[in-house]
Chain A
């Protein structure tokens, strides 16, 4: 019976999928034509200035070990393809997920024997942007492994929890009211497809954590410290929520 029903179930699933198209929209999808044009043109996208810098740093030996990223990882176009689309990823030794910036700094301290780069420093943004650039167009595919379940649950809880003096959750804007105006801005769904992003308001490149802190300050909540476990859990939940959407780093956003 079960055996006979299987094709029917498969057919029903196909119909259901066709009836409910993907309603997820990235920041790029809802951006105006000027911002899209700026992002798409490699000479007009200021994020590429950091990518260029990252490319230089990639090949430059550093630290007590006097090794460059390229000495281990080789040509980033090959070895870093799709990597940013898989972060945050689980680190078995630390038994927690690390985001891309933390992973870069872990590599620096363990393998290059160098000082970790400061959060939001030009060099860390540059290396992250260079690595993320290699995943352009590839779908977000964070790990669905069992060890990560508790972190995903924490991230989801944080996303849905009201906070700050305005007493709003992320979900109330980005799930329930996306597409509407918040003062002069269009509320996006909050998919982290293009980080690090060049945000016109910042006139600079910035990480997802900077963006999250920005949102939290707007709610008049106390923002997470850079690298706090909650921040990583929220980043991880956002990536899981955007699973399958194409990466467009370094993105340009208003």
Chain B
């Protein structure tokens, strides 16, 4: 589906705070615009983002129409165990994009 860029460390020390940055391609159509025939363009935004770390939700966000296209989200979490982080974005059409990244904690 959409292109995604995720930046997180591949390795971290236990207890370290790591910053995670995500960027996803999405039009974030507000629903307030008209096309060139004057017909309203239906709203299509990513409305929810979650990040789970070994199954536990560590971050979630609700998104609204004023957020720009290709939303960039950065957040931090504490490195606890080696394992996987799962990122998922859900939009108004009900499509969900899921990405998985591995991390090694020493």
Contacts and interface: CB of A to CB of B under 8 A. Distances in A.
A31 interface: no
Interface stretch (A44-52, A71-79, A183-191): A44-52
Contacts of A43: 5-7, 21-23
Interface string A26-58: 000000000000000111101011001100000
A48 B21 CA distance: 14
A46 B2 CA distance: 13
A48 B23 CA distance: 10
Interface residues of A, number: 12
A200 interface: yes
Nearest to B20: A43
A49 B68 contact: no
B72 A49 contact: no
B69 interface: yes
B3 interface: yes
Nearest to A48: B5
A203 B6 contact: no
A203 B21 contact: no
Interface string B1-15: 001011100000000
Contacts of B5: 42-43, 48-49, 52
B70 A203 contact: yes
A170 B69 CA distance: 30
Interface string B58-73: 0000000000111010
B68 A44 contact: no
Contacts of B28: 203
B69 A49 contact: no
A20 B23 CA distance: 42
Contacts of A42: 5, 7
A126 to B, nearest CB: 9
B76 interface: no
Given A43-B7, A49-B5, A53-B3, 16 more contacts: A41-B21, A44-B23, A44-B72, A46-B70, A46-B72, A48-B5, A48-B23, A49-B3, A49-B23, A49-B25, A49-B70, A52-B3, A52-B5, A200-B68, A203-B28, A203-B70
19 contacts: A41-B7, A41-B21, A42-B5, A43-B7, A43-B21, A43-B22, A43-B23, A44-B21, A44-B23, A44-B72, A46-B72, A48-B5, A48-B23, A52-B3, A52-B5, A200-B68, A203-B28, A203-B69, A204-B69
Interface of A: 41-44, 46, 48-49, 52-53, 200, 203-204
